[in-house]
Amino acid sequence: MSNPSLPTDAPPLSGSELEEALRAVGARRYHNLHPFHRLLHGGELDRDQVRAWALNRYCYQAMIPIKDAGLIARTDDRELRRAWLQRIVDHDGKQDGEGGIERWLRLTDGLDLPRAYVMSMRGALPATRFAVAAYVHFVRERSLLEAVASSLTELFSPGIISERVAGMLANYSFISTETLSYFETRLSQAPRDADFALDYVKRHAVTRSQQQAVIDALSFKCDVLWAQLDALYFSYVEPRFVPPGAWSPGAEQA
């Protein structure tokens, strides 16, 4: 279902009305609602299905700093660049052994997926790669306001991350606090990033059409996240049809 469009002759929303409209998008479309997440958090997946999730999601992690660099390259706003640069540092770290991507690789290490295989992205599902690439292109090509707004899914991520960490630790013997350390850091980084982006969007989306554009950008981003889980579900849960070339257990050894 698409978002109800704001009527063309309506006056612009106030900042708090715009925030409410954005939160309503998350309530209907965020990937916490996807059945794959329900299985993942509820302990209903086997180890190979969890491995498939971690392997695919690496692609998202790896592309986030590339999309953030794309945004930085486009803006002459020094404050925006400075805030956004912190996101790149958070993911890449300042030196070897630091940063979110490294912490994600500790999760894939803990699941016995060789780093070189994970980082090559050879085993990723085609739909994962396409969804992630669509996000990078969106941020490069749409207005800066839409680019910032597309990050606003992070308004909703602390809820799902808390649910995921608790659920996975409780339900999977092969998951530990150490292997999930990525998410601990995100619990403080995501609200900081989302607060900045929300404030930016409220200040800059002042016309009705700009406000509609940011609502649509957030919907698009929800679709980026949702499509990745659809692909995981189809390939590894039901009907378990793995596309040619994508990972199946043992392929990482080949």
Ligand X SMILES: O=C(O)c1cc(C(=O)O)c2c(n1)C(=O)C(=O)c1cc(C(=O)O)[nH]c1-2
The residue among 143, 152, 119 whose CA lies nearest residue 22 is 152
The sign one gets for the Cα dihedral 139, 141, 142, 145 is positive
- The footprint of ligand X on residues 50-69 (CB under 6 A) is 64
C-beta atoms surrounding 158 within 10 Å: 17
Closest CB to ligand X among residues 87, 202: 87
Instruction: Give the x-and-dash track for 211-230 against ligand X (CB under 6 A).
Output: --------------x-----
Asked if 154 is part of the footprint of ligand X (rule: CB under 6 A), the reply reads yes
Asked if 146 is part of the footprint of ligand X (rule: CB under 6 A), the reply reads no
Kindly tell me which residue out of 108, 157, 212, 235 binds ligand X, with binding defined by CB under 6 A.
Answer: 157
Shortest spacing between CB 227 and ligand X, in angstroms: 13
Number of residues that bind ligand X (CB under 6 A): 9
Asked if 161 is part of the footprint of ligand X (rule: CB under 6 A), the reply reads yes
The separation between CA 54 and the C-alpha centre of its own chain, rounded to angstroms, equals 13
Closest CB to ligand X among residues 24, 250: 24
Shortest spacing between CB 163 and ligand X, in angstroms: 10
With tokens 């009527």, the residue in question is 7
Q: Is the distance from CB of 228 to CB of 30 less than 8 angstroms?
A: no
Q: How large is the greatest C-alpha to C-alpha distance in the chain, in angstroms?
A: 60
Asked if 186 is part of the footprint of ligand X (rule: CB under 6 A), the reply reads yes
By beta-carbon distance, which residue lies closest to ligand X? 153
Asked if 148 is part of the footprint of ligand X (rule: CB under 6 A), the reply reads no
- CA angle centred on 30, ends 40 and 128, rounded to 5°: 65
Shortest spacing between CB 154 and ligand X, in angstroms: 5
Kindly tell me which residue out of 49, 56, 108, 151 binds ligand X, with binding defined by CB under 6 A.
Answer: 151
Q: Is 223 exposed, middle or buried (0-12, 13-18, 19+ CB in 10 A)?
A: middle
Supply 39's token pair.
């299985």
Positions that interact with ligand X (CB under 6 A): 64, 151, 153-154, 157, 160-161, 186, 225
